Amino acid sequence: MDKLKMHTPDIAKENYRKLAALFPDAVTETKDEEGNVVRAIDKDVLMQEINAQVIDDGQERYQFTWPDKRKSVVLANAPIAKTLRFEKEKSVGRDGTLGGTDSENIYIEGDNLDALKLLQETYLGKVKMIYVDPPYNTGSDFVYRDSFNIDADEYEDNSGQTDEDGNQLVQNLESNGRFHTDWLNMLYPRIKIAKDLLSEEGLIFISIDDNEQQNLRKICDEIFGEGNFVATFIWEKRKTRENRKAISVRHDYIVCYSKNYSERDQALGLEEMNEDAIGRYKNPDNDPRGPWTSVPAIAQGGHGTKSQFYTFESPSGKKFDPPSGSCWRMTWPKMQEAIADNRIWFGEDGNNVPRIKKFMTEGKQGLTPESILAADFVGTNDSAKRDLVSLFDGLAVFETPKPVGLIQHFISITAKAEDGIFLDFFSGTAASAQALFEQNVKDNIKRKFILVQLPEETDEKSEAYKAGYKTICDIGEERIRRAGKKIKEETGADIDYGFRCFKVDSSNMKDVYYRPAELGQASLDDYTDNIKEDRTPEDLLIQVMLDLGVLLSSKVEQTEIGGKKVFSVADGYLISCFDKDVTEDVVTEIAKRHPFYFVSRDSSMASDSVATNFEEIFKTYSPETVRKVL
C-alpha cells in the first residue's frame, strides 16, 4: 500500500511536471551552487518550442514588481505539513444547536495562507464566489507578516513547516520603508491561491480604499489576467461629511475579477427589479400578454444589412423611414410579423415613431448591476455597526464591520447555484455568513460558506474582551449563531444555519513521517509510532480527507466493526480505521463495503499474517478500492 503524503501540494513541482509533459525536450539537469544535481529547464529549447522571446534579468519589459516578489511567489507555491483539527464544542448543527456536526458550512480559525493551502486540493475549482475585506494598509491596519527566511529548497526539506516567527500580525506604519512592499507580499500569495479555488465561472470581490487600490488592480491583473477584470464598484460607505480632513472621503472600492472571461456573462447575474423599474411596465392597449415597456425599433446604420433599410407604412397609413445614420432593428419581413403580432407600438393615436414592445413576462427579469453602490441600497459602516450592536444585545463588539447588505448584494448578482460555495478568508465578524443566510432564505437556495479568520486577540480594554470575546474568532462564531437563530425565528426557513469549526494546527504526523532518512537507528527506537501522541482518530480522519480531496462538509458516520472504530465518509466513499490490532475479519467486512478509498495506520494489523493477507482480501472482495496507509 502507498503512504499518504500528508502535506499540501508542492505547486512548483506540479508546474514543473506540467511544463515537462508539454515540452519534454526542454527538461534537463544542472548543478546548484553546492554541486548537487538538480532539475532544470533549458530556456533555449523552450524558446524554440513556443516561438517567443524569453526575457533575462536586466532586460526592459512591462511588469509590476516590488522587493521580495519572487519570495512571495515561492511562498504561494511551497507546501506545508499542517492540518485542520475539528472543534466540536464550537460547531453548530444545521438547525442551530451547539455541538452539531451535520452542517455543510465551514469556519476555520488560523492563518488564512495556511488555510488556503490546506483547502487547495479539496476545493480546487469548486468555489463559486469569493469576497474578502483585507487590511487596507492605512498606516494603522495590521497585516500578516509571512516568513521569508525559508527558501524553496528548505521548504522541500522540511515539508514546508515555517519557523516559530512566521505568520505574525504586525502594524504596517507609514514610516515603514517597506510600507507597500509588506502589504503586497502579504496579499499576493493569498490571492494567487484563491484563484485556483474559483470555478471557471467564479467571481472574486475585494474591498479596498485609495491607499492600495491601484496596486491591488495590478496584482489582480497579473494573477487573473487583465482581460478578466469585470468592474470596480464604488461603495458609499458613509453619508456624513468629515470636516477634519482636506477631503471628506465617503467611498471605498470593491474590485471584481472573473476566473474566466468567456464565462463572465453567466457568472454575473442581474439585480432584482425595483419599484421604479417595475413601474415602467404599463398596458395601455390591454394586451393579453400583460404589462410591457417599449424599446427603440432603430439601430446604428453602420451595423445594418441592406434588408434593414426600408420605408414602411403603419396601420394608420403613415409612412416611416429610419433616421439618418440609422436602420431598422428588424428586416422588413420580421417587422411585418411583429406588426401582425401587435408587438410594435405606434403610440395611442397610431402615428408615433414605431417602438418594440417588451413584455415583463418575457426574457430576463432584472436590472444590469451598476458600479455605484448607494448607501441606502447596501448600507454603510455606521449602519453595519448599529446592526451588529443590536445583534449582540447592545454590546459594541467591533468598530468597523462591513454591512450585510453590501456582501448580500454581491452574492445576489453572482449566478445562482444550488450547491455553490462562498469563500471569505478575511472574515472578521462573519458578516459574510449572515449575508449568505439571508440571501439563501430569499432565493430558497442551498449555498454553503467557508470562512477563515486569524484568532487575533481583542483589546483587553474593549467591551468585547470584557464580555468574554477574547479573539475576533469568538465574535465571528457567536455572530453566526445569533444571526442564524434570529433569521430562523423571523422566517422559519429550512436552511443550514450551522457551521463546522476547525482550527489550523501542525501535522498529526511526527517528523519521522516526512524525513525518515535523516534519523539514525537510535532515533528510530523513539519513533515506534509515526503519529503524535496527542492526536485522536478524528484528527487523523480530517487530515486524510484533506489529503485525498474529500470535502470537509461530507457526511461522516462512525460505526464499530469487530470492536474497532471505523469511519465512513460520504456514504462509504472513504472508509478509515486507525485502531491497532485489526483482524482479518475486520478487513474483510470493510472490503465487502467496496469503498473507493480505505486508509489505516501502517501498524494497524494485528499480526504479520493479517498484514500479508490484507492485499489478497481486497483483491477478492473489492479490487478497485485504493488502499493507503499512514
For residues 93 and 239, state if they share a domain: yes
Of 36, 62, 88, which residue sits at a domain end?
62
587 and 537 both lie in a single domain: yes
Taking the complete model, does pTM exceed 0.75, yes or no?
A: yes
Question: What is the reported pLDDT for 144?
Answer: 57
Asked if 127 and 256 sit in the same domain, the reply is yes
**Residues of the chain with confidence (pLDDT) below 50:** 148-167, 522
Same domain assignment for residues 222 and 304: no
DSSP string, 585-602: HHHHHHHHT--SEEEE-T
* Residue 167 and residue 109 share a domain: yes
Q: What is the Cα–Cα distance from 206 to 452, expressed in whole angstroms?
A: 15
Of the residues 325, 359, 393, the one at which a domain ends: 359
* pLDDT at site 520: 56
Rounded Cα distance between 165 and 180, Å, is 21
**Domain check: are 195 and 281 in the same one?**
no
Q: Are both 376 and 461 inside the same structural domain?
A: yes
Q: Is residue 68 part of a domain?
A: no
- Residue 69, in any domain of the structure: no
d(C-alpha 95, C-alpha 98), whole Å: 9
- State the helix-helix crossing angle for 584-592 and 608-621, rounded to 10 degrees: 20
Residue 514 lies in a domain: no
Residue 501 sits in the same domain as residue 536: no
Query: Strands across the sheet with 292-296, in order?
Result: 292-296, 355-359, 344-345
Number of domains making up the chain: 4
Q: For residues 346 and 491, state if they share a domain.
A: no
Same domain, 280 and 268: no
Q: Is 99 part of any domain?
A: yes
How far apart CA 496 and CA 570 sit, in angstroms, is 18
Q: Using alpha carbons only, what angle is made at residue 559 by residues 554 and 564, rounded to the nearest 5 degrees?
A: 125
Q: Is residue 279 part of a domain?
A: yes
> What is the domain extent for residue 40?
2-62
Q: Is residue 344 part of a domain?
A: yes
CA 375, CA 403: separation in Å to the nearest integer? Answer: 10
For residue 292, tell me if it sits in a domain. Answer: yes
Between CA 265 and CA 415 the distance in angstroms is 9
Q: Is residue 512 part of a domain?
A: no
552 and 415 share one domain: no
> What per-residue confidence (pLDDT) applies to 419?
73
Are residues 169 and 267 both part of a single domain? Answer: yes
